[in-house]
């Protein structure tokens, strides 16, 4: 299998490393508009460098797209038109309409379209999801210090979208209602946000995200009728709390040493080879995007009323 990575920035470097390490995969090129950056990453892996995705050679099987969100649609469509299987970083696109176009083309050409919601490949989240039969309440907190990287989108599309995807995956039901608030702090866009999501099966999710915090936090708490699970997705720890014969019992599990990005790359390769179904396809990426855009819209409407 021959694959290229389009985008040699922060995430592109990681994607190139993980893809090149996959058994039976040849990293056949690195593409970046910054030719120097493309050459640097390509040299590390002994492959060609290109400054434009139109220069990608023939007989390539797949592409990982790790460029700014506003270019996902353009580059994704071009790759799919060429018959390449695609893994695109989250969010899948800048709009639902762009996401729909990517999904339709991938389905029409019978190509893999996978979306890079890497938290789904966390060993801790996988173990948590297996234990939850019918979650009633999901509470997530995702905080980070401010970085210029990613600031081209708001905190909802940058950070909260991870937990929007996780909450929807756990709830396994349609969204009924969304309410949200948020604030601008260091940029001209949303830097802090909180969203409350009600699902058709009664599950409720409360999600908070900030990119202007002092320390990084990735906490997820999930409640159902017989079990409470508290997850630290950064440390890879799970704490289970349940009642047995009137006694509160607590157990802890640790999932250290996992590599979610490597697991995501391996899942993509398996899907391209037809060895497994697509783990997180375009439709799931669209669901997370639609929720994120709705939260962002509600926050901005509220800000217009009070600013």
- The predicted structure's pLDDT at residue 73: 98
- The predicted structure's pLDDT at residue 151: 63
- Angstrom distance (rounded) from CA 18 to CA 59: 21
List, in order, residues 6 or more apart from 231 with CB less than 8 Å away. Answer: 124, 125, 128, 219, 220, 221, 222, 237, 238, 239
- Angstrom distance (rounded) from CA 170 to CA 207: 14
User: Residue 150: pLDDT band by 50, 70, 90 thresholds?
Assistant: low
C-alpha to C-alpha distances, 127 to 123, 124, 131, 286, nearest whole angstrom: 6, 5, 7, 24
- The predicted structure's pLDDT at residue 2: 97
- The predicted structure's pLDDT at residue 188: 86
Query: To the nearest whole percent, how much of the chain has pLDDT over 90?
Result: 90
C-alpha to C-alpha distances, 186 to 3, 62, 176, 182, 298, nearest whole angstrom: 38, 38, 32, 13, 20
Pairing of strands 137-143, 62-65: unpaired
Q: Which residue intervals of 230-281 are DSSP H helices?
A: 260-272
DSSP 175-208: EEEEEEEEE-SSSSS--EEEEEEEETTS-EEEEE
Helix (H, G, I), strand (E, B) or coil at 296: helix
| Mean model confidence pLDDT for the chain | 95
Check pLDDT > 90 for residue 7.
yes
Helix (H, G, I), strand (E, B) or coil at 143: strand
Q: Is 283 exposed, middle or buried (0-12, 13-18, 19+ CB in 10 A)?
A: middle
Report pLDDT digits (tens) over 196-234. 999 999 999 999 999 999 889 999 999 999 899 999 999
Report pLDDT digits (tens) over 75-117. 999 999 999 999 999 999 999 999 999 999 999 999 999 999 9
Rounded to 10 deg, the angle between the 10-20 and 35-45 helix axes is: 20
Pairing of strands 227-232, 217-224: antiparallel
- Angstrom distance (rounded) from CA 268 to CA 270: 5
Report pLDDT digits (tens) over 62-81. 999 999 999 999 999 999 99
Check pLDDT > 60 for residue 237.
yes
List, in order, residues 6 or more apart from 176 with CB less than 8 Å away. Answer: 198, 199, 200
Q: What structural domains and CATH numbers belong to the chain?
A: 2-117+262-280 (3.40.50.720), 119-258+290-306 (3.30.360.10)
Omega of the bond prior to 5 within 30 degrees of 0, cis?
no
C-alpha 187: how far from its chain's center?
23
Instruction: Pick the more confident residue, 153 or 133.
Output: 133
User: Residue 245: pLDDT band by 50, 70, 90 thresholds?
Assistant: confident
Sign of CA dihedral 181, 237, 13, 89: negative
| Nearest one of 239, 256, 257 to 248, comparing CA atoms | 239
């Amino acid at each position: 299998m021959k694959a290229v990575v389009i985008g040699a920035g922060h995430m592109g470097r990681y994607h190139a490393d993980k893809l090149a390490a996959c058994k039976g995969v040849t990293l056949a090129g690195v593409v970046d508009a910054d030719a120097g950056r493309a050459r640097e990453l390509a040299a590390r892996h002994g492959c060609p460098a290109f400054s434009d995705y139109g220069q990608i050679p023939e007989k390539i099987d797949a592409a990982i797209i790790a460029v700014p969100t506003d270019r996902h649609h353009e580059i994704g469509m071009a790759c799919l038109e060429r018959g390449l299987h695609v893994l695109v970083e989250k969010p899948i696109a800048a709009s639902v309409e762009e996401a729909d176009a990517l999904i339709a083309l991938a389905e029409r050409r019978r190509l893999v379209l996978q979306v890079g919601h890497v938290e789904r490949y966390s060993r801790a989240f996988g173990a948590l999801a297996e234990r939850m039969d019918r979650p009633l309440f999901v509470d997530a907190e995702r905080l980070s210090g401010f970085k210029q990287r990613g600031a081209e989108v708001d905190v909802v599309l940058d950070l909260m979208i991870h937990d929007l995807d996780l909450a929807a995956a756990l709830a396994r039901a349609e969204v009924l209602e969304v309410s949200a608030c948020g604030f601008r702090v260091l940029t001209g866009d949303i830097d802090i946000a909180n969203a409350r999501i009600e699902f058709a099966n009664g599950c409720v999710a409360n999600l908070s995200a900030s990119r202007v915090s002092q320390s990084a936090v990735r906490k997820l708490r999930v409640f159902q009728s017989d079990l409470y699970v508290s997850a630290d997705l950064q440390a890879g720890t799970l704490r289970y709390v349940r009642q047995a014969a009137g006694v509160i019992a607590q157990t802890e599990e640790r999932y250290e040493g996992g590599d979610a990005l490597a697991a995501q790359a391996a899942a993509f390769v398996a899907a391209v080879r037809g060895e497994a179904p697509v783990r997180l396809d375009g439709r799931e990426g669209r669901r997370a995007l639609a929720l994120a855009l709705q939260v962002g819209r509600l926050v901005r409407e509220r800000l217009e009323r009070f600013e």
